[in-house]
Structure 1
Amino acid sequence: MEKSMNTSDDFRDKAMIAASSKHRDELLFSYKGILYPSTICYPETFKALESFEARRDDVILAGYPKSGSNWLSQILTDLIAISQKKTPGSESTVNAEEPRLIPFIEMGNLEKYERMTKLPSPRFIATHLRPENLPKSIFKTNAKILLLIRNPKDVATSYYHFSNGLPLLPSYETWEDFFTDFMTKKMAWGCYFEYLSEWNKYADKENIMTITYEEVKENPALSVKNIATFFGIPLTEEQLQLVVERSSFQSMKKNSDKTHGSFGNILFRKGGVSDWKNLFTEDQNEKMDRAFEEHIAGTKLGKKLKYDLYCKA
């Protein structure tokens, strides 16, 4: 594959074209028991990922699909720019000779990792992977990880609309069909409740900060400030406000053509909280409530989610 396959724009466009010619059953493949999109993730890439060398100062964002990863990616890349004495959004933050790499470490081909070794620190790395499937070096180096979680009912709702708008993923004729797959572990990147349960084992580590989608919505300025403090990035009040303004849903949606091309219309739909109330039936509510109780209620991450506040009608 040519190098352009590892720059975000070209990679995304080519993956979309490849997906459009695939049968629905060919859009996902299984690796170590978990499903992944076949046009953006590859078995040989996962194998190479095992020997990936993390750096102590890597800035890592971990979050299940549709938990707000693109939103937090905006915040983190702006904070990294500030740490490098650059102004977020200015031309000085972009090296025209170094096309932007796909931030998600599990996406792309093998050549991507060679290019990543040449990137200056701090590198921004995003992932939807469970901790046991990440490179061991991330935990050996004690690199800092921002773990982003979101109430499961809104994750499912957002994932449903995302799947139906994105050719890379199987689409669904009905919400009922999607809900069944979501609850029976047939989603790309696996079961969300198992994802939360696995990450909960790491929740007490000093190098991991957990933040919820909902708390960032409630108080963006405080959240950005806390994230910057966690990664050791000092901010002036002016810089703080700039990051908050640039990462607002309205601002990101407005700039989505520049940042994500046609993909932006799919990514930035509502950006709200409690949209699940427009889809969930009483029976589905009960099923998800039971799953939450079984997998994650009572744990550190379960309490952090404030399930009774955000997931009870």
Structure 2
Amino acid sequence: MMRVWQDGRIIAPEDAHVAITDRGLLLGDGLFETMAVCRGKVCDLEAHLARLNAGLDILGFARSVDIPKLRADIAQYLAAEGAVSAVLRVTLTRGAGPRGLAPPEAPHPTILMTLSQMPPKREAPVSLRIATVTRRNEHSPLSRIKSLPYLDNVLALSEARAQGADDALMLNTRGAIACASAANLFIIRDGRLETPPIGDGALPGTIRALVLSMAKQAGLAPVETSLAISSLGAADHVFLTNSLSPLTEAGQCNGMPLQRRAGAARDKLCSMLMTHFEEG
């Protein structure tokens, strides 16, 4: 494993430690971003930093994190480790604090960064399972940020895997589709590219935003709209997006096959994403 970054130091993984009073450890009081590194640079770094900063603002300690310095630290870390193609995870906690829920008035955030190998590219469509053990709370501000408590997603994915599926689809409190365990969901239907709105509990994914911006060039009308489970069966194509697997087709849900009739539009989106990253 590559060395890790902790609070300004690049050290061996076994030498990285957080305080027993760290609020990220005790309360999940923090955020993370997972990013793809291509040709030694983070893909869509500014979009990731903007989402991170928005999350810090929601949690109330944005002023304690120097985003320009973090940007420079990321570049230094990648250069020091010679990272050409990798997965970068940045984790920020509010840092240590006194016992109880109330946050410290002047937090000193803990910043951790790790690098790992990119996962192999998936060629076969994924199988999905509708999660029943938990639901996405679209009313919570945490549904719009990548906060450290990710246990709803862990439970949903564990349920899907236990039933032989690759990933879980999470519903919100009203029974509408919100997202997959670690990806946004899109369907192509009647010339439209549809995806759940942020208000339905969908995370504002960086690739999600890119795909929506590219839809018209692919001959599709981008639409953010609530999606019922029945929407999957009526779709011409279903796919997932995230930073590490920009566009992954779905082949079935709950054991029922999904249509893959919009391959030309899907291929166009894939091509534009590849071009974006090559030029970025």
- Indicate the TM-score class for this superposition, using the shorter chain for normalisation: under 0.3
* Higher RCO (CA 8 Å, separation ≥ 6 residues): 1
TM-score, length-scaled by structure 1: 0.25
Higher helix share: 1
Higher strand share: 2
TM-score, length-scaled by structure 2: 0.27
